[in-house]
Structure 1
């Protein structure tokens, strides 16, 4: 009977021993925008023009998609968990780096 598979930390790349504590994660980043820039009212013609510009542009459609929806799953070690928690759990009233 085979034992548990070896896991690798998605953040630091370290191989995790089967007896070592690890954390599963799912991270989803979704782009949102409440108001489009520009003076237009979002008419059908304006939207069709925008779509045409996007379709004819040099960018790969996958790049556009990843700017709107990016998702990753994996496992991380205890040390990397601490870094992630510090990064995502900022103190109340702190507006962050941006």
Structure 2
């Protein structure tokens, strides 16, 4: 019978031994915007114009897609978990945005 498959931390690249604790994660970032343009009203013609600009632009469609939906899964080691937890923790006190 084969043992568990080897794991590698996706953050630091360290190999995680089968006897070590590791953390599995799924991270999804989804872009949202409540109002396209407060002055324009968002008519069908305006939306079609925006779509044409995007199609004609120099940006890679995958890059544009990742600005709206980005998803990653994997495992991380305990040290990297601590960094992630600190990064995603709500700010303490009156700290402003980054």
Shared topology, TM-score over 0.5? yes
**Which aligned runs of 4 or more in structure 1 are off by greater than 6 angstroms?**
none
SS of the aligned residue for 1:86 comes to helix
Question: Is the 1:22–1:77 contact (alpha carbons within 8 Å) kept by the matching residues of 2?
Answer: yes
Unaligned runs of 5+ in 1: none
SS of the aligned residue for 2:25 comes to strand
SS of the aligned residue for 1:2 comes to coil
In structure 2, the residue matched to 1:76 is 76
Question: Is the 1:90–1:96 contact (alpha carbons within 8 Å) kept by the matching residues of 2?
Answer: no
**How many residues end up aligned between the 2 structures?**
98
Per-residue CA deviation, residues 15-36 of structure 1 (Å, 9 max, x unaligned), is 0001000000000000011122
Q: Post-superposition shift, 1:58? A: 1.0
Partner Cα separation in structure 1 for residue 92 and residue 33 of structure 2: 24
What is the RMSD of the two structures over their aligned residues, measured on CA atoms?
1.6
In structure 1, the residue matched to 2:47 is 47
SS of the aligned residue for 1:50 comes to helix
The TM-score, its normalising length taken from structure 2, stands at 0.91
The TM-score, its normalising length taken from structure 1, stands at 0.91
**More deviation in 83-92 or 68-77?**
83-92
Unaligned runs of 5+ in 2: none
Partner Cα separation in structure 1 for residue 93 and residue 35 of structure 2: 25
